[in-house]
Structure formats: structure tokens, C-alpha cells
């Protein structure tokens, strides 16, 4: 397999390479899953392409398929750990879609009935200890 593209200035590339901290959930040849440290909801996880692609349009077909497979796996574990009423799988492309990190990834968003959540959430740091505990719980279910 050819080397995956990398951007040394990208926070997600740094996380994938182990150069920045994360609450890692899962990793395979093409994907890397972590807890979101600015969670939209309790249990919010991210599935990253290991290759640096700024968005879905630039991503390789193999990376898109791998991210989808991993998102399914992570969603099942989050569902089991958090017991939400539902889960959104969200992928944003560009500023107008509130894409805050220009690296292809999807959000696994647990939802509750009546949460009235808007998809353009603000980046508000979550409880890091709580996120770490939940990451361990979800990892155990993978």
C-alpha cells in the first residue's frame, strides 16, 4: 500500500501519529477513532481517516469505505455503552457545514429524545476525566 498523505500542521494527523494526545478507541490500517474532547453529547466520538484529506471530496474511495466501516463499529459500541435514543453519523464538508478541522472524519453523535440539539455546536471542553472513563468503557466493547 502506498504511503498515506500527511499534513504536519493538522491536529488530526498529529493524533494519528501519536504526536498529540487523544482518548483512542480503535485503530486499523486506514482509520483511527477517538473520543471528541469538545463533545456535542455524552459519548461523542470521531472516526478519522489516517490519510490527510481535507474533506470527503478529496478522500480516496478506500478511505471513505474504511471510515464508514469503522463508524458502524464505533456506533455499535457507543450505543451499547451510552444507551442513547438514537445516533447521528455526521460528516461535514467545508466552512458552511461547520467543518472545524480540515481532515476527513465523521462524528458519531449519541442523541436523546427532546435534546433539541443543533448540528452546529460550539466547541466547549468536556470533563476530561469523564471522557477518559467513557473511552475505556467503549474500548472494552469493541
Active site residue 6: no
The full DSSP string for 80-123 is HHH--SEEEEE---SGGGT--SSS-EEEEEEE-TT----SS---
Cα torsion 123, 36, 61, 26 to 10°: value is 170
d(CA 2, CA 109): 32
Phi, psi of 78 (to 5 degrees): -65, -45
Per annotation, catalytic residue among 44, 103, 105, 107: 105
Which helix (H) or strand (E) segment holds residue 45: the answer is: strand 45-49
d(CA 138, CA 133): 9
Which helix (H) or strand (E) segment holds residue 64: the answer is: helix 61-82
Catalytic residue annotation: 105
Amino acid at each position: 500500500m502506498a504511503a498515506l498523505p500527511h499534513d504536519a500542521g493538522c491536529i488530526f494527523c498529529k493524533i494519528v501519529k501519536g504526536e498529540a494526545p487523544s482518548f483512542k478507541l480503535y485503530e486499523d490500517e486506514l482509520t483511527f477513532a477517538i473520543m471528541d474532547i469538545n463533545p456535542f453529547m455524552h459519548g461523542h466520538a470521531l472516526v478519522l481517516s489516517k490519510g490527510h484529506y481535507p474533506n470527503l471530496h478529496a478522500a480516496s474511495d478506500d478511505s471513505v469505505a474504511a471510515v464508514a466501516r469503522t463508524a458502524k463499529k464505533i456506533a455499535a459500541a457507543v450505543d451499547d455503552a451510552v444507551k442513547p435514543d438514537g445516533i447521528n453519523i455526521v460528516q461535514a464538508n467545508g466552512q458552511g457545514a461547520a467543518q472545524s478541522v480540515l481532515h476527513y472524519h465523521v462524528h458519531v453523535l449519541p442523541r436523546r429524545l427532546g435534546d433539541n440539539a443543533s448540528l452546529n455546536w460550539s466547541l466547549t471542553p468536556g470533563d476530561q476525566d469523564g471522557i477518559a472513563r467513557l473511552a475505556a468503557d467503549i474500548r472494552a466493547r469493541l
